Structures are given as structure tokens and as C-alpha cells.
Chain A
Amino acid sequence: MAQPPPDPRFVLRGTGAAVHALRFSCGGEEPAVPILFSGSENGFIHVWNLKTHRVDATLDGHGRKSVYWLETMDSKDRLLSQGRDQRICLWDLAEGRTAVMDSVFTENVGFCRSSLLKVAQGRWLMAMAAKTLEEVQVLELPSKTSVCTLKPEMGAKLGMPMCLKLWQGSCGSQPSLLAGYEDGSVLLWNLSTGKVLSQLICHQEPVMSLDFDSERAKGISGSSEKVLSIWSLNEQQNLQAQKTHRLVNAGISDITIRPDKKILATAGWDHRIRIFGWKKLKPLAVLDYHTATVHSVSFSDHKSPSDRLLAAGAKDHRISIWSIYTQT
């Protein structure tokens, strides 16, 4: 009846270490080559050429400490990377260069992936876990000035922030931050006042990853337990739990919603990538290729829908590239 799940389009080998971060940059005009950036546990960032399936360049800027977040600023020439050496580096990759232009010393020893949001031409906001345990700091880039520091109230006992998402409603509205914490709750912060707008306990275990769809005002979070939690934001900016989805095996490391908001992918500790429909969280596919925990999933930003790809990086040193549900 139902077709068996597809195999990966191709598999990128050669990172030499567990892959923790992935980012596509395929939106450029022809003859620009579609690129995939991958960050590994050995501190290297590999720049993969998706036409030749080979590494074009290797960036070494984090002192052999694991790189766990990658983000492009505008194009593939500017890359932000965050590593466990407590630094966030800004790379200049234009014209074949591989130099660190600037860096921010976060003084944070955790694993929380930062979040970047473009607010105006040439201006970005970046949220990152700060030095003190429960705090999140928001910086403006490229000036690196601090916009605000978000500190939960005394006795909140949220634990450290585990995942962050900066978002902005319609153009011109205030940017907000969604943060998932160690105690399983998700908080909505107002950046201008620095106060909590709403708090929702989504999980019993730490929130490992979350993603948010600002158009539908609906978000999803995954944790180390067997449950995916879907919540929404109403007009009063209150977080409300909508539903939960129970998984076969526990543990989710990463969740990402495709830019066209039709499907989402989760990276699981049970070595499987699960695809769901975003509208009703209908399970669509279980992609079983990796032989170890999948750390990161990412959708590509191709202009043409039929070229879209999904990348998954796992502890088995491999990056699998899938082409799934590209017809819609």
C-alpha cells in the first residue's frame, strides 16, 4: 500500500567526527554553487560543494573544540559559527578567503545554540546564552552592542537555556524571543522591556530543541522524553499548549520546520529522522539511515521547490542528504 521510505539522495563522508551543525546556502544566483556548511566535533567547519559532493574548504577556528551552531548572514560569504571554545566567530568567505573577521566571547560553557534574526538591512539581532547560568543575552550585529539581557526572576529555577529562537511577527513589529529551558518550560520574552510575556511548561525533561512558525503563531518543541509538544501563541501573547505527539523512542536533538511551512523534520536519538506534516502533525515518514544519534537536521533554501533538500548530520560522522516531498 504505502511506499517504503526513500533512500538518501547522497551521503557526504569525510568529516571525521560527529556532525553537530548544518546550514545550507543555496539561494544564490547561477552560476553560484549550492553549498552546505557542516560543523563537527573536532572543531572543523567543512564547506561542502553540493554539485561535486566534495569539501571545498575547511575552516578551523575554534581550537579543535566542537562547533555546534552555524548560521549564514545574508549570503554564503558571511558565516557565523559557535563552538565550545566559548566563542562565536564571524567568517569572511568571499572570493575564496577563510578568515575570521570578528568574534564574540560568550563566556558560556553550555550547549545552547544561538539564534539570529535580521531586523533591517545590515542589522541583525543575535540571542545567545550568557555567562550567568539562566541568562540570555541579545546582541546587535555587526556592532556587537548588547540590546538586552534576559534574566528570569529569582527563584524561577528554570535551569540553563537549552534552545533559542528569535522571531518577528509581521514587518515592523517588535522582535521576541522564545527560549526553552532545562526544566522543560518555554518562555516568551519581550526584547524591548526585557520581561517575560508568557511561560508554558511543555515537557518534564529539558527542552532540547524548538522551532516556531510566526505566520501560524504555532511552535513545536522536543525534549529527551518521548513526547513532541505543540503550542501556540494567542493574540494576548500567551503560550497555550495545543497537543502532544508521542514517539516510539525517546529523545529529540533537533527540530526544524521547512521554510514553506508544509513539513517539519526531527532528529532523533534513535538514529531516525522523522518527517511530519506541519498543519496537523501527521506522521509522514521515518527515515532510517544513520547508525548513531542524529544531531542536526536542516532544510535547504533553494529558490526552486523541486531542488529542495534535507540534510541530517549524525554521530556516525555522516551527513545524509534527502529529497523528500519536493513536489508541493
Chain B
Amino acid sequence: MGWFVPDGRCVMLASFLGCRVFPPQEEYRIAVRSVSPSVKIFTLAADLEYHCSSSSQLMYFFLFSSPSEEILSVLMPHLTDLTKSDCIWQRICWRLVECVPERWMEAVVLGFVQRAPGADVLSRLLGNLVVKNKKAQFVVTQKMLLLQYGYTTAVLQNLLGYLSLDSLRRALLIKVLHELLETWGSSSAVKHSPVEQQQYISKAILICLSHLKEPEIESCRQELLTSMMEGVKCHLDSSLPQIRRLGMIVAESISSKVNTDGPVLQFQVKVTVKFLSAVWGTEGIQSFIQLPKDSLPLWANSCLYFVYSDDDLIPYDMSEDKELKKTKAPMYIRDCIEVLTGSEDLDKWEEAVKALESLVRRNPAAAREVSVELAKILLHLEEKTCLEGFAELRQKAQVAVLTTDPIPVAQYLTSQFYSLNYSLRQRMDILDVLVLAAQELSCAKGHGKTKHSGAQNPRIQLLPESGSSKDWRRIVDERIKSKTRRFAKTQVEQPSGPNEFNSLAGHFFFPLIQNFDRPLSTFDLLGEDHFVLGRLVHTLAVLMYLAVNTMAVTAMGKALLEFVWALRFHTDSYVRQGLLSCVSSILLSVPAEHLLQDVTEELLETRSWLEDVVEKDPDGDCRRLALQNLLLMENLKKKLETAPS
């Protein structure tokens, strides 16, 4: 039988299995099964520690010498079953893990945390290991949460649930929460750590919060609030919308937990329900947060007949069925100007705002007479009544004015961009209007992009994205795809036509790029207003892109490259993304021959900078954009080499 010489038997097994490399799973099963009865016998002998240590060496020998997936896939279900109801087996398991040698402790703990089917199972298997063993504590509370960020939500839930299940471990939970909040709130972490890590930490904070009980919240209420306030500030300062949203979500959650009675912080941030339900529920999380598409209520009768598929009765056109208006819309532009500048009648004011864009477009000659005045009025126009879609109406009117009389209005707008006493919102409006008008004027025939693609967006929060990086990357990708595929065939040039933006590109572009380094008392692009700098850089990228086939494109390219060079080490990742987009548009718009003749040294310098970015930049989007730019450069070179000179 051998139960008086249990050690010998175990040792024999160890040496037998140790000499095989990756023995098949079957042998593991045999090994485990035969260990278990031996361990059982050890309990009877009541000499737990000695025997446990030898069998734990056996088990961890397996773990160490072979892929732990295989061992754990056999071991975990076994241990889970064994410890389910039997306290003795639980204690044995705890002792086993306590006796694991230091150098294997990390692998063991990681493996258990990742594979356990739930926090309660983990609690049964590990017991208070984290309290007793320093290494295990470090792995669980520091390494898995703060130093690594690749684990799934289920693992986070296991880990934090495990910490919350026992009173001894709860002290660790609170400590973990404080450390997570400290990291979350540190401004350097927000600026420099990758977005994925920040999401991971936010998830961990939300899960911790869900485990906290009332008395614990009471005791650390003050610290929670302080860290929340600091953290929110750093997050809202960021230029990346995902970081801002993360900050808002976490702050809202902390506030609702801490202030159960009384006013709660609310940002009205819209998040997919999946994110929050998964953090507090049991499903997996989607790793990015989206704004749901805005859906218009289907009040209008004219929409409804698409929805029903009723009888054979065909509806008539009901598009004229609108709300009954009491005042009439103004018919002349000068009337509109009068109403917008002077009138106290709010109905008339609303009608004027609604009617302005179509009036300007229908009467270009009349609009040209008063274009600068209109631009001034629209720039300073503030919302007087609660008009739906006011921001969009105003923007459309501004674009209409700019496209009708481009040169004077562009001069006016670009000079105002750098003037005193405008709000950041107004400066960004100027940039948006310039981009939208440039898109419309350039017609973008040669690039296959539709007009007004940026102007469709009704939501204020989404205006920063419109026309800038999102569309951007798609087009660059398309161009890269279209260029990289063909090696054997002749290159098919995209059909291009004369660009109406031709004479105007310079008027839009150069004034914007001139004064960026001159700080004013209320506006400092290189200092605190780096969000506007980011937007300016994206705007310049789009203007550059739209200037393809114009006369000024080479001069613009040179100026832009110098601008990029001056700013290339900017700390804000949104600005860096913009700079890389600028480089893309330069490479795409400036004809290759000009690039290589006039701009050679700058190109080489840029290339070495791009290589640097690909390797070292912390932001994933920046790295991707830099890589695309390098590919574009390669293709340009190849194109010139193969083309007949």
C-alpha cells in the first residue's frame, strides 16, 4: 500500500515526471490524483506542514517545468471541487500555497487569480495568503493593478472581490483604493500613460467602489472627495476625449457613492450601458467608450410613412406639414442683420437665425456687400432663446458667408483668431468654419470625399472631431491602401480636377500659421491653451490636404513642415497627433517632385523624427500615424524611382 512511506512515493513521482519534457496531460491527471489521496493520508497523520511542503514542491515543480496552462487547467477544477464544501481541504490548500517557495510565488498567484472562476473560489483557494506573504501581497496589490494593465475585467473582479471577502483583507482593499485614486488623480499619469492603462485603472476604481461598505466610506469620505476633485481636474484638462469621459464617469461614480444624500456630481456623459453594467455586473466589458448616436424623435409626419408598411393606400407628400408659425421669416439679408443686432422681439430673432443661411446662399451678390459685417455679427452671436440646433445654424450661416465672399471674410476671421478678448470657444469656432468652408470650396473631387461631411454633425461635443482626425485617418488609410497594393501594375492616378480652393488656400492658411508663437494676454497657444493649439494643428492639416493641385501648395508645405518641426516635442498627445496628420497631408498634397527638390533636408530630418516617434511615443495613435507617414514616404520614393524622369 505504501502509506507509511508517503514521501518516497511522492518523490518517486517527481523524479519520474521531471525528466520528461512536456509530458501529455494524462500523466498530469494521474499525478494529481495520486497526490490527492496521499495528501489525504497526510492529514490523518496530522503532520501537515512537513508533508504539505513536499507535496507543494511536487505541484509547483509541475507548474514551473511545464506550461502552466496545462497544469492549471487540470489542477484548478480539482481544487475548486475539493474545497467547495470541505473546510479541511480549504485549509490544506491554504497551507499548500503558503508553502510555495518565494521564486514561484508570483507565478502561482498570477495563475490562480487569472484562472479562478470567481472571487469566492479564489478566496477558498488562497485564504489570507496576501496578508501573510509579502510577495503575494505585492503581486496582488501592486503589480497586477498598477504596474500591469493587460488583464481582463473578470480578472480584476476576481482580484478585488477576493480582497473584499474577508475582514483581514479589507484593509488591503482600502489601501488599494487609495493607491489607485492617487494614480488616477496624478496629472503626470494622466498626461503620459497610455489610454488603455488609464481605462484599466478606472475600471479597478469602479469595482473597488462597488465593494465598499457604508462605514468604510464614512471613514475615508474626505480623502475620496479630495482625490476625486484633483483627479477630475487633470482629466478634464486633457485634450483627448476618451480621457475626459473616463474622468467624468469615475467622478460621477465616486460622487454618487460618497454623497448618498444631497447633490451629486453629474456630467451628463453618455456611455454605452455595457461599460457600467459590466463593471458592476458579470459580463465582459467593451474596452472603449462610445457616444451613442443621437436619434431624432420621429415626430414629423413626413418621416413616419417609411416606418409602416400598411395597406395599398399610398400617402401623399407631407413634407410641407410643419409647425404653424406666428411670425414670418425675414426675406432680405439686411432685414436679418437688423433683427440680429437690434431687435428685442425674440420670435423674429429666432426666425432670422433660422433663415440666414438660405438667404445668404440664394443672394450671393447681396451677401457680398455685407459679408464682413455678417461674419462679425455671427461670430459674436449668442444664444438668446432656447433654439434647437442653434450652434449648427450659426455655423452653417458662417460657412455660407465665408464661401460666398472668401477673401475678406477669411482675412477678418484669421485676424480675429489671434486677437484679444475672445473665448476659446469662439476661436475654435473660427477654425471649424474655416475647415468646413475650405472643404466646400475645394469640392474635394479628386479625393473622393463628400462635401459637408463635417457639417452634418449637430452635436456640440462632436464638433472637434468633425473634419479633423477621424475622417482623416480613414482617408489616409485609403490612400495608403490604394498605393501599397500595386507593385507590378502601373500606378493608376486618382482622377483630379481643378481645385476651386486654388486662389484662396493661401488666404486661409498663412495668416493662421503666422502668429502662433506670439502670446497675448488672454491667449497663449504655446502655454495653457494647448487644446486650441491641437485644434489649430488639425485645422492646418486639413487645409493642407485640401490644397492639393493648387499653386501655393509647395510654399504651404514648406511652412507647415517648419511649423511641425518647431512643435514636434510637445507634451500633449492631441497636438502630436495633429502634427503627424500635418505631415501626412504634406506628403499627400505636395507633388512628389517638389518635395524632393525643395524640401529634401527637412524631409530627412522629419523622417528620423518619425522613426523616433514610432519607437518611443507613449500614445498608440501617435505611433500608428508615424508609421503610416513612414510608409507614405517609402511609397513616394518608390514612385519617383519607377516613374520616368
Chain A interfacial positions (CB closer than 8 Å to B): 1-6, 246-249, 262-263, 270-272, 274, 277, 279-280, 282-286, 288, 325, 328
Partner of B324, one of A249, A262, A280: A249
Asked if B321 and A286 make an inter-chain contact with CB atoms under 8 angstroms apart, the answer reads yes
Q: Tell me whether A279 and B316 are in contact in the complex, defined as CB-CB below 8 angstroms, given that A248-B321, A248-B322, A286-B321 are known contacts.
A: no
Chain A neighbourhood of B304, CB < 8 A: 282-283
Complex interface: stretch among B213-221, B307-315, B635-643: B307-315
- A249 and B301 CA atoms in complex are apart in Å by 11
Query: Could you jot down 19 A-B contacts, CB within 8 Å?
Result: A2-B315, A248-B299, A270-B324, A271-B324, A274-B301, A277-B313, A279-B311, A280-B308, A282-B304, A282-B305, A282-B311, A283-B304, A283-B318, A284-B313, A284-B315, A284-B316, A285-B318, A286-B316, A288-B320
The bracket for how many chain B residues form the interface is 20 to 34
The verdict on B323 contacting chain A, using a C-beta distance below 8 Å, is yes
Asked if B311 and A286 make an inter-chain contact with CB atoms under 8 angstroms apart, the answer reads no
Asked if B312 and A328 make an inter-chain contact with CB atoms under 8 angstroms apart, the answer reads yes
The verdict on B317 contacting chain A, using a C-beta distance below 8 Å, is yes
16 extra A-B contacts, CB within 8 A, seeds A282-B308, A284-B316, A328-B311: A2-B314, A4-B316, A4-B317, A5-B317, A248-B301, A262-B313, A271-B324, A274-B301, A280-B310, A282-B313, A283-B304, A284-B315, A285-B316, A285-B318, A286-B318, A288-B320
B173 to chain A, nearest CB (A): 51
The verdict on B300 contacting chain A, using a C-beta distance below 8 Å, is yes
Interface centre among A3, A248, A271 (most CB of B within 10 A): A248
Chain B neighbourhood of A328, CB < 8 A: 311-313
Asked if B312 and A286 make an inter-chain contact with CB atoms under 8 angstroms apart, the answer reads no
B328 to chain A, nearest CB (A): 15
- A253 and B528 CA atoms in complex are apart in Å by 62
A187 to chain B, nearest CB (A): 30
- A24 and B314 CA atoms in complex are apart in Å by 26
Asked if A248 and B300 make an inter-chain contact with CB atoms under 8 angstroms apart, the answer reads yes
Chain A neighbourhood of B315, CB < 8 A: 2, 282-285
List 4 tightest A-B contacts by C-beta distance, closest first: A2-B317, A285-B316, A286-B321, A5-B316
Chain A neighbourhood of B299, CB < 8 A: 246, 248
Partner of A6, one of B310, B312, B313, B316: B316
Asked if B318 and A282 make an inter-chain contact with CB atoms under 8 angstroms apart, the answer reads no
Q: Tell me whether A2 and B316 are in contact in the complex, defined as CB-CB below 8 angstroms, given that A248-B322, A249-B323 are known contacts.
A: yes
Chain B neighbourhood of A282, CB < 8 A: 304-305, 308, 310-311, 313, 315
B138 to chain A, nearest CB (A): 62
Interface centre among A2, A271, A328 (most CB of B within 10 A): A2
Partner of A272, one of B308, B310, B316, B321: B321
- A274 and B314 CA atoms in complex are apart in Å by 14
Closest to A268 in B: B324
- A116 and B365 CA atoms in complex are apart in Å by 65
Chain A neighbourhood of B308, CB < 8 A: 280, 282
Chain B neighbourhood of A262, CB < 8 A: 311, 313
Main secondary structure of the interface of B (DSSP, over half): loop
- A188 and B322 CA atoms in complex are apart in Å by 35
- A6 and B305 CA atoms in complex are apart in Å by 18
- A107 and B316 CA atoms in complex are apart in Å by 45
Chain B neighbourhood of A277, CB < 8 A: 310-311, 313
B301 to chain A, nearest CB (A): 5
Asked if A325 and B321 make an inter-chain contact with CB atoms under 8 angstroms apart, the answer reads no
A130 to chain B, nearest CB (A): 36
* Residue interface bits B290-302, CB-to-A below 8 A is 1, else 0: 0000000001110
Asked if B301 and A263 make an inter-chain contact with CB atoms under 8 angstroms apart, the answer reads no
* Residue interface bits B267-282, CB-to-A below 8 A is 1, else 0: 0000000000000000
Chain A neighbourhood of B305, CB < 8 A: 2, 282-283
- A286 and B315 CA atoms in complex are apart in Å by 9
- A279 and B315 CA atoms in complex are apart in Å by 14
Chain B neighbourhood of A271, CB < 8 A: 324
A264 to chain B, nearest CB (A): 12
Asked if A3 and B310 make an inter-chain contact with CB atoms under 8 angstroms apart, the answer reads no
- A283 and B318 CA atoms in complex are apart in Å by 9
A71 to chain B, nearest CB (A): 28
Closest to B310 in A: A282
Partner of A286, one of B314, B320, B323, B324: B320
Closest to A5 in B: B316
Closest to B308 in A: A282
Chain B neighbourhood of A285, CB < 8 A: 315-316, 318
* Residue interface bits B372-411, CB-to-A below 8 A is 1, else 0: 0000000000000000000000000000000000000000
Chain B neighbourhood of A2, CB < 8 A: 305, 314-318
Closest to A325 in B: B313
A262 to chain B, nearest CB (A): 7
- A137 and B282 CA atoms in complex are apart in Å by 63
B306 to chain A, nearest CB (A): 11
Partner of B301, one of A270, A286, A288, A325: A286
Interface centre among A247, A262, A283, A288 (most CB of B within 10 A): A283
Closest to A272 in B: B321
Interface centre among B304, B311, B313, B324 (most CB of A within 10 A): B313
A251 to chain B, nearest CB (A): 10
Asked if A248 and B317 make an inter-chain contact with CB atoms under 8 angstroms apart, the answer reads no
- A284 and B322 CA atoms in complex are apart in Å by 15
Chain A neighbourhood of B316, CB < 8 A: 2-6, 284-286
B32 to chain A, nearest CB (A): 64
Chain A neighbourhood of B323, CB < 8 A: 248-249
Chain B neighbourhood of A325, CB < 8 A: 313
- A176 and B313 CA atoms in complex are apart in Å by 32
Chain B neighbourhood of A288, CB < 8 A: 320-321
Chain B neighbourhood of A270, CB < 8 A: 324
Chain B neighbourhood of A263, CB < 8 A: 313
A147 to chain B, nearest CB (A): 39
A272 to chain B, nearest CB (A): 7
Chain B neighbourhood of A1, CB < 8 A: 317
Closest to A3 in B: B316
Closest to A250 in B: B324
- A4 and B316 CA atoms in complex are apart in Å by 6
Partner of B317, one of A3, A249, A272, A274: A3
- A270 and B322 CA atoms in complex are apart in Å by 10
B636 to chain A, nearest CB (A): 47
A109 to chain B, nearest CB (A): 31
Chain A neighbourhood of B317, CB < 8 A: 1-5
Closest to A278 in B: B311
- Tell me the chain B residues, 497-551 only, with Cβ under 8 Å from chain A: none
